[in-house]
Amino acid sequence: MAAAIDGYLADLDRALRGPRRVKSGLLREARDSLVDATEAYADLGLPPETAARQAIDDFGDVSQIAPGYQAELALAQGRRTALLAFGSLVAQPPIWHLVAWQAAEPDPLPGLAGVLDLLVSWLGALAVAVALLGVWAFGTGVRRLGVNPRRIRLAGIFAFTMAAAFSTIGLMLALVSPVTGPVALARLPIAVVVLMLPMFLVAVNGARCLATARAATTSH
């Protein structure tokens, strides 16, 4: 019994792409359903191996089951990416305001630094709104919007664009700061830890969005 179910689940596992924890939960639920069905057939008098095969047949071929599971994984990845983008963005302003206060930076910043600061403020507000929209679209909004791999793909593109834009602007701001001193000199390593590392994680999740969206498209 276990061998037949394990083989089926291994095939299903290989057919799916998405967040590991979510996929493990889906596979665990599938195993529980198959075991319960096998036990029910065994109670009716079927041999264990025959009962397991009948349970698998009732559950459906992997090619039939995988698209629904893959859609759920794609949504989970989109939601995770949107939440990570939102969290990374809203954490930035208080940190950089604290750095600016410690460095006694003028407000507003002069020259190129001022232009970049204004640009990142406007882009940040826009990106936060888009990230919140993504959290809704891949969560409760699914009831209205349904599941569309194109939206997951857009989430991946958004994550890449956001990560590249804010990493570049943040690095430039750290380099053109008009003030000097220990705190000002620390802007570059602070930018690497506080900005660029979270943006790297956003970009990684963006790549996973593209992979799960591609898998959801090809599995249909």
Q: Any long-range contacts for 163-167 (C-beta under 8 Å, 24+ apart)?
A: 163/199, 163/200, 163/202, 163/203, 163/206, 164/199, 164/203, 165/123, 166/89, 166/92, 166/120, 166/123, 166/124, 166/127, 166/195, 166/199, 167/195, 167/196, 167/199, 167/200
Q: Any long-range contacts for 199-203 (C-beta under 8 Å, 24+ apart)?
A: 199/88, 199/162, 199/163, 199/164, 199/166, 199/167, 200/163, 200/167, 201/84, 201/88, 202/81, 202/84, 202/85, 202/88, 202/159, 202/162, 202/163, 203/159, 203/160, 203/163, 203/164
End-to-end CA separation in angstroms for the chain: 30
Report the share of the chain in percent with pLDDT over 70.
Answer: 86
pLDDT at residue 35, rounded to an integer: 93
Interaxial angle between packed helices 62-102 and 197-218, expressed in degrees from 0 to 180 and rounded to the nearest 10? 160
pLDDT at residue 192 above 70? yes
Interaxial angle between packed helices 197-218 and 149-175, expressed in degrees from 0 to 180 and rounded to the nearest 10? 160
Can you read off the two tokens belonging to residue 219?
């599995």
pLDDT at residue 194, rounded to an integer: 78
pLDDT in tens, 106-158: 566 667 877 887 888 899 899 999 999 999 989 888 878 777 888 899 999 99
pLDDT at residue 220, rounded to an integer: 58
- Give the mean model confidence (pLDDT) for residues 41-51: 89
Domains of the chain, residue spans: 2-60, 76-218
Element (H, E) at 26: helix 20-43
pLDDT at residue 92, rounded to an integer: 82
Element (H, E) at 118: helix 111-137
pLDDT at residue 129, rounded to an integer: 94
pLDDT at residue 1 above 70? no
pLDDT at residue 169, rounded to an integer: 87
pLDDT at residue 21 above 60? yes
14, HSE (Cβ side, Cα atoms, 13 Å) = 8
108: phi > 0 → left, psi -120 to 50 → alpha, else beta; which? beta
pLDDT at residue 100, rounded to an integer: 64
**Residue 163's pLDDT band (cuts 50, 70, 90):** very high
pLDDT at residue 148, rounded to an integer: 82
Sign of CA dihedral 139, 141, 144, 146: negative
pLDDT at residue 40, rounded to an integer: 92
**In whole numbers, what is the pLDDT of the chain averaged over residues?**
85
pLDDT at residue 160 above 80? yes
**Residue 27's pLDDT band (cuts 50, 70, 90):** very high
pLDDT in tens, 71-103: 999 999 999 999 999 999 888 877 767 766 665
**What's the pTM?**
0.81
pLDDT at residue 189, rounded to an integer: 77
pLDDT at residue 128, rounded to an integer: 93
Neighbours of 37 (CB within 10 A): 19
